[in-house]
Structure 1
Amino acid sequence: MITASIVTYHTSHSELSRLIECVMKSDIETIYIIDNSTNDELRDYVTNNHRLKYIHSINLGYGSGHNIAIRNAIKLGAKYHIVLNPDVYWTDSVIEKLSFFMDNNPSCGLVMPKITYPNGSIQYLCKLLPNPFDLIIRRFIPWEKYQKKHDFYYELHWTGYDHIMEVPSLSGCFMFMRCSVLNKVHGFDERYFMYAEDLDLCRRIGEVSKTIYYPLTSVVHEYEKGSYKNKKLLVYHIKSIIKYFNKWGWFFDRQRNRINKKCNAELNRFYNNRTI
């Protein structure tokens, strides 16, 4: 059984309809709509199909909302659960291809497909585990040339994003996960209200299984980068980053260094062998 969840907050009907249409055409058996909005006006809109489960929730945050669905999925006995952003959609047999990959790779706990913008260009959402400078540079230093050089390595641009690879940090916009692993790591850390919860979950999943980028299928993500436009979201972002580094370590994080070194070594080995 494959289940999925979307956390909404005054999400537009058109955006939600587009994603639900994709879900209805896939092997996803149950999709949870966790509505963190201040009202439940989506209730009647999404409850006319037995595969849709609507839950209006107190807004405790993005990860907390998805955890409601994850706990339900585990109780149902689901094999896989997918965390989706409302602004994601696809036309390919993405769910079926990722399910097949996971079935044949039991050591993988999380897989993410290639993510593109609506114009087809790649979103560079495979990352190393960040240190504080990585996030400060990306958010607050506007020197484009320096940012590009930094992101070339931090976001692994040099790999070409054209082959399957194990990556320590993958985006929360589309997370295809094994429920047995989610049960082991207890889902999202609910101390994060918004932002960094996907990074934290990737890292914890990576401690017990593999986190894989799978570019043989893709989804489209409209990617608003809300914290770049909204001061309130920026505050949430900063608070979450502080919580992340307080939890895992700021400048002294041996595990981060070990994981990043291993990732780079394996990718360099693959790249060198491929070019021989």
Structure 2
Amino acid sequence: MALSDSTATEPASLSISCVTYNLHNSTFNATIESLACACAYARAQGRLAVSHLYLIDNGPDEKNYRALCAIQSAFYAHFEKITLLTGHGNLGYGSGNNLALLQTTSHYHLVLNPDVLLAENNISLALDYMNQHPQVGLLAPDAVDEFGERQYLAKRKPSLLVLLARAFSLEFMRKLMAQKLYRYEYRDIIPTQVPVEIELASGCYMFLRTSIAQQIGGFDPDFFMYFEDFNLSRRIATISRVVHHPELRIVHFGGGAFKKGIKHIKYFSGSFFKYKCKSHF
């Protein structure tokens, strides 16, 4: 595959998928409102032609579905199309996103968590950068949490010890692993003033070149929850580039698996070993 820069300026089409489960209505409303504003800004800049929002219902009951129906009704005028996908049960995060990703005909596809707020110029900047850099298959953002503290979403390939040190926050372990933790989170490079190539991107926001994502078959369905984003990043990096862009700003409200109880710890642990096996350690 030949990699070369381009200066294409035609307005692009964008699809967005949001997988939801037990929605927190106020946060998700804010997410979709910020997305709608970012799409409107990109249209005004002449960079976005069509936006298609996929709302994916992985919820356990009617409450999640009704919340999505309300979102679809409230924001239908802000996107060219809103599709609500339901009735499939809880497929997991990656397979849920695949319902949209593998059927869309858009130029670009945004995988977006229901707990992320986008800066107004986010979509416009992403489209402009991807148009000018066709060798890039996945674009990752710069993030802070709800308190304005930096989140280090870009990662290098993880080891079990590094993940345990991060998860349990034991002081002696963090001191022992300080240098490895520092490198794992790209703190030697980020924050940066210019886009930089990275190994792994977070699934809370993945701006994908649709053709590349479809070429590799989207998310690996073997992952129900956790590490599907790392696996996707690794596979995309075999045929294109994964880039962190410092001007693509988001606020991310997400928390770690080890703060969510034993069920999430089991998912996390199982997915980690699956990821390592698929990565051939």
Return the alpha-carbon distance in structure 2 between the equivalents of residues 103 and 173 of structure 1: 22
Distance 1:71 1:160, change over 3 A: closer
Tell me how far 1:91 sits from its aligned partner.
Answer: 3.1
1:30 aligned to 2:29? no
- Is contact 1:4–1:30 with CA below 8 Å preserved after alignment? yes
1:173-212 aligned at under 5 Å gives the runs 173-212=204-243
Which range moves more in the overlay, 142-151 or 162-171?
142-151
Moved over 4 A (4+): none
1:66-215 aligned at under 5 Å gives the runs 66-73=97-104, 77-140=105-168, 142=170, 143-162=173-192, 163-215=194-246
Q: Which residue of 2 aligns with 1:256?
A: none
Distance 1:38 1:152, change over 3 A: same
TM-score of the aligned structures, taking structure 2 as reference length: 0.83
Equivalent residues, number? 247
Tell me how far 1:140 sits from its aligned partner.
Answer: 4.8
Return the alpha-carbon distance in structure 2 between the equivalents of residues 29 and 141 of structure 1: 41
Paired AA for residue 100 in structure 1:
D
Return the alpha-carbon distance in structure 2 between the equivalents of residues 92 and 147 of structure 1: 38
Paired AA for residue 121 in structure 1:
E
Distance 1:68 1:165, change over 3 A: same
Paired AA for residue 218 in structure 1:
R
- Is contact 1:46–1:52 with CA below 8 Å preserved after alignment? no
Cα deviation 1:219-254 (Å, max 9, x = unaligned): 10012214333111111111111111122223xxxx
Any gaps of 5 or more consecutive residues in structure 1? 251-276
Tell me how far 1:81 sits from its aligned partner.
Answer: 0.2
Return the alpha-carbon distance in structure 1 between the equivalents of residues 255 and 167 of structure 2: 15
TM-score of the aligned structures, taking structure 1 as reference length: 0.84
1:13 aligned to 2:25? yes
Return the alpha-carbon distance in structure 1 between the equivalents of residues 252 and 224 of structure 2: 22
Over aligned residues, Cα RMSD in angstroms? Answer: 1.7
Tell me how far 1:90 sits from its aligned partner.
Answer: 2.2
- Is contact 2:191–2:246 with CA below 8 Å preserved after alignment? yes
Return the alpha-carbon distance in structure 2 between the equivalents of residues 141 and 14 of structure 1: 30
Return the alpha-carbon distance in structure 2 between the equivalents of residues 227 and 35 of structure 1: 25
Paired AA for residue 44 in structure 1:
C
Tell me how far 1:43 sits from its aligned partner.
Answer: 4.2
Q: Which residue of 2 aligns with 1:271?
A: none
Q: Which residue of 1 aligns with 2:69?
A: 44
Larger proportion of helix = 1
Which range moves more in the overlay, 85-94 or 103-112?
85-94
Return the alpha-carbon distance in structure 1 between the equivalents of residues 121 and 147 of structure 2: 19
Return the alpha-carbon distance in structure 1 between the equivalents of residues 190 and 258 of structure 2: 27
- Is contact 1:92–1:217 with CA below 8 Å preserved after alignment? no
Paired AA for residue 205 in structure 2:
F
Tell me how far 1:60 sits from its aligned partner.
Answer: 1.4
Return the alpha-carbon distance in structure 2 between the equivalents of residues 116 and 167 of structure 1: 18
Secondary structure (helix, strand or coil) at the match of 1:157 reads coil
- Is contact 1:115–1:218 with CA below 8 Å preserved after alignment? yes
Return the alpha-carbon distance in structure 2 between the equivalents of residues 231 and 63 of structure 1: 21
Aligned pair partner of 2:262 in 231, 238, 243: 231
Tell me how far 1:138 sits from its aligned partner.
Answer: 2.9
